[in-house]
Structures are given as C-alpha cells and as structure tokens.
Structure 1
C-alpha cells in the first residue's frame, strides 16, 4: 500500500479563491416602494451575511411610503358649528372640504380660502366629488321646523351621509348631536330628538370602533346670521362659568324633570370644534361624549 501511495503524483495545496464562493446578494437591489393609503413613514434597515461584520459602510435600505395626511369632509361647513370646525382644522394643517347647500360663505376670512367649498344637498350630491380620499366625515346637519322637516334633516340626512361614508370606506364618522336632556317623553318624541337619536344609532352601528357622537348642550360663540354677528358668547360664557362653579350644589336637582334645560352648562363652539379635531387625529377617541367629555377632549388639543 505504501508503494502504491508513493507512486501517485504529488498534489500541492493551493488556496481556493474567494471568488469561487461569492457572498449572496441581497434579495433586491433597489429600494422597494410600499403603498399604504394615506400613510407615510420611513424605515431604515441594514443586512449582513454570516461571517461579515456590519459596520458604518453597510448598505442601507430606505423604505418610504406616504404619511397619513388628514382630509376631512364637513357637512354643513358653512353653518355656525361647521365653520368653527373648518377653521380649527385648517389652522392645524388638515385639508378640509365643506358640503352645504349654501356653498362658500359670503364673508372673507383668511381660513375661508383654504377650504374647498362644494354647494350641494346630501340627498342628491355626487359623493365621488366629495368623499374620495377623505379620512373622516364630520356632520353638523340639524335644524328645526315641522315634524317632517326635523326628522328629515336631523335623522334621514345624517343616515344617508353615514351610509355613503361607509360605502366609500371612510375610516371615521363624527356626528354633532345634542345633550341627552331629561325632558318629558312627549318632548323627546319630537322630530328633532328622534331624528338626532336615529342618526346616532346609525353612526354607532356602522362605525362601532371609530364612530364619534358629541352631545353638547347650548352652543355659544359668535354666530353670523344674514351678515350680522350675534355674540352668543356674551350670554353663554358667563352662564357656563357660573354653572360649573355651583355644580356641586345643583347636582341634587338633576333628578328633577327638565332640570338640565337650566343646569346643563353651555358649550363653547370652539370646544366643540377642538373635540372634533381630537376625534379626527386620535384613533382611540370614539363613542358617545357628554358635555364634560367634550370639554376634556378640547383641552387635550388646546394643550
């Protein structure tokens, strides 16, 4: 055996070139683009093969997608509460579209030019022109009149809007409703209150985890009517301060029928608007909100 091995030719050991076993290339050479509706974020990541030390010279992959920019549709944006919501949203860089029968306001303010004003009726509007790309719908629809009129504008109009928003995949719906007054049943059965509650039910049913219902009492602020400004804050603001100062003494009276017509604190239109902004930007904010909770939500945004 030894003689056989000695007869074999000598083989010299040479190092195997590293090119024979190249490092495996990354799975992709160019940064991918991820598409997330209305969202944008950046992700940096590095890769290193086994046996290769990662250092500052390692290749970096940047993944960029669209950041969510809020775009809200305000139904009744030309009204008292609606215009306050539009103004508050614009001041925070939120894109705003207003749909109302009267369209653009007749007065001129800096924020007015930053809103897209659409004239139309929720019962007949082409929703393609209004809802596409929106992240939330805010409804301030409501009013007084005959029983049929109140049922239609407070209830049916909002139901139509909720279902349209749901059909178009809008993530949030915010409804400005009314305080749950302890009125006699014959008053609560009026078209105004039954319409509002019907609208609330539709919001909470179609948007169980993102629908918002705000229930303010009397809303005060500077209200424009036929070119004139009604300073409702001259009455509402002092009344709110007084009622909050004595609320510990008035609580025992809350069980009396219709007592909260006098004892429910008025709510600033600015607080309602800021509570809406909180609802638009905070995904954990949903459900039914009372007067005090509206105030708390507004303070979060104000701070």
Structure 2
C-alpha cells in the first residue's frame, strides 16, 4: 500500500472517473469525487445498478465544474487533482440519451458555424472569487472551448492556488476524422495553458485512445473497429495514419487507463503528455504493485 494521499477527481462519477476513484481507493488514498450527480448511477458506468464494495470509501460530492465556488473548498489539502470530463459533440448528451434533444442537433452544433467563446472571459482573465464559466444561455455551455478547455484550466487554476502537487488532465489521442478539429485542438490548448501557467504543479496530460468495457456493450464493436484500424495502420506502416487519426490508434480497456492515471499521479517522474504506449506501461506497473 502507498502512503495515504488525498485525491480529488472532477468527473469521478463518469465512465473513466469512477474507475480512477476505484484504483486510488485500492492504494488506501482518501478519495473525493466531484460531479453534478454526486454518486454515479452505477448502471451507466458498471454492469450492475448496485454500488461496488469500494464505493463507500469515496466521498461523493455534488458541485458545478463551471462554478469554482461550489468546489473550491474541496480542493484544500489535495495532493492530486484529476479533470476527467469533457464532450465528444457539442450537445447536451444527457438530453440526447433521454430524448430531450435530437442527435442531429448535436451534429449541427459541432459542424456548424459557432461563436466558440460565447462572450465568456477566459479563466486566466477572471479575478479570484469571481470565476464562472456559465454562459447567459445554459444551452451554450456545451462547447468544446468551455467543457474541454476552460473547465480544465479553471480547475487547474484552483488546484495550483491550493499548492496541489500534481494535476492530471484526461486529454485524448490524435483526433479522429469523424469529429470536428476543435475537439482535439481545445484539448491541446488546455494542455499548453496548464503547463505554461502553472509550472510549479506537475501537469500530467493523459492521451488515451477510444476506451471500452463490457459494462458498456456499445463500446465493444467500436473498439473492434478501432482495433482493425490499428492493425491496418500497422500493416501499411502508417501510410494512412495521418488521415485515420485516432481511428488508427489501438483502443484500450477503460480499466487500463484508470490504473495508468493513478500510477502517473504517484510517479514523480511522469510529467507532460502521456501517449498510448506509456499508458500501457504505467498500467502494467500499477498491476504489478497490486499483485504484491
């Protein structure tokens, strides 16, 4: 067991975030999850509707990532902070799932002309205590700039103010051709800003590929296609790699990425972008520790 550390995971109720919490608990860390829902709806992130045995060791807190005043106090004394949230399409994905919003609306928002910043001040331009990322129209909050970039920069700003040792941002592997370029460019902008503006805090930028798990059946065929794309890219020696983007990147089990995140936080030598091969190595290192 590692010495007790305090970890805060923003997005800890999600597909990846919940598993990061799990592996941190296994190390005996004090773990706090921050999300709008508090505790996850377990049937959406695991194969069971019942909380797993480790869940009672996590403090499941409700807060709004777009309003730092709601989560700022939870960051005090945190050794590590993780930003594990973002969007694939500029739509209210929960609204799409529930039927309140059409998937076509999300596609139109993603590929149509937009005002990406919606008139909101960037996090570094906002004064302490006055930070807020909520646009006048709540529907406008689901943009790549706000969800994938500014929310991460804002969280890093708050973490740095609390002298957090390490900050892990869940970025992404090179973008796939089916997604707008702004999906990946906003991720990279977040990485660059966090690294340059908060140099005293060890920034870790995980770049996972498509993640899958048997608890989410729809991820399995997608992972199979991504795996085929990776094999094709290997056979052709990367001739089409630039075009295929993430579609040519080997998919990983979400458990592998979660293990790697926790290992990266504890390993003081890990800093900056973490690509797929290193993610796999970190996960193996974590697995060996758990076997001892």
1:209 and 1:136, CA in 2 relative to 1: closer, same or farther beyond 3 A? Answer: closer
Please identify runs of 4+ aligned residues in structure 1 that moved more than 3 A.
125-128, 181-184, 236-248
Question: Which has the bigger relative contact order, CA under 8 A and spacing at least 6?
Answer: 2
The residue that corresponds to 1:82 in the other structure is: 17
Closer, same or farther: CA 300–126 of 1 in aligned 2, 3 Å: same
CA distance in 2, matches of 1:208, 1:193: 25
Residue ranges of structure 2 left out of the alignment (5+ in a row) = 43-50, 91-108, 117-142
Separation of aligned partners in 2, 1:198 and 1:235 = 31
Rounded to whole Å, the distance in 2 between the matches of 1:294 and 1:236 is 20
How much has 1:293 moved relative to structure 2? 1.5
Asked if structure 2 preserves the Cα contact closer than 8 Å seen for 1:127 and 1:164, the reply is: no
Task: State the TM-score, normalized to the length of structure 2.
Answer: 0.70
How far has the Cα of 1:252 moved from its partner?
Answer: 3.4
Contact in 2 for aligned 1:103/1:119 (Cα 8 Å): yes
| Mapping 1:58-207, distance limit 5 Å | 68-107=3-42, 108-124=51-67, 125-143=69-87, 144-145=89-90, 146=109, 148=116, 149-181=143-175, 187-188=180-181, 190=182, 192-205=183-196, 206-207=198-199
Comparing 275-284 with 258-267, greater Cα deviation is found at 258-267
**Distance in 2 separating the partners of 1:167 and 1:139:** 16
State the alpha-carbon separation in 1 of the partners of residues 59 and 25 from structure 2.
11
Distance 1:92 1:239 in 2: 34
Residue 216 of structure 1: aligned partner: 208
2:264 is aligned, of 279, 288, 298, to 279
Task: Tell whether the 8 Å contact from 1:271 to 1:298 is kept in structure 2 after alignment.
Answer: yes
Q: Distance in 2 between matches of 1:194 and 1:91?
A: 34
Question: Shift in Å at residue 215 of structure 1?
Answer: 0.8
Paired residue total: 227
CA distance in 2, matches of 1:123, 1:283: 29
Instruction: Give 1 or 2 for the bigger CA radius of gyration.
Output: 1
Instruction: Name the SS for the 1:251 alignment partner.
Output: coil
Q: Determine the C-alpha separation between the residues in 1 that align with 2:231 and 2:240.
A: 15
Please state which structure has a larger fraction of its residues in strand. 1
Matched residue SS, 2:16: helix
CA contact (8 A) 1:173 1:207 kept: no
Q: Distance in 1 between matches of 2:64 and 2:78?
A: 18
Contact 1:72 1:96 survives alignment (8 Å): yes
| Whole-angstrom CA distance in 1 between matches of 2:59 and 2:218 | 27
CA shift, 1:211, in A, is 0.9
Between the aligned partners of 1:291 and 1:95, the Cα distance in structure 2 is 28
Which whole-Å CA distance do the structure 2 matches of 1:295 and 1:88 have between them?
15
- Residue 282 of structure 2 corresponds to 297
The structural deviation recorded for 1:247 is 5.6
- Structure 1: any 5+ residue segments left out of the alignment? 1-66, 223-228
Which structure has greater helix proportion? 2
Q: CA RMSD in A?
A: 2.6
Distance (whole Å) between structure 2 residues aligned to residue 126 and residue 83 of structure 1: 20
Rounded Cα–Cα distance in structure 1 between residues aligned with 2:199 and 2:281: 22
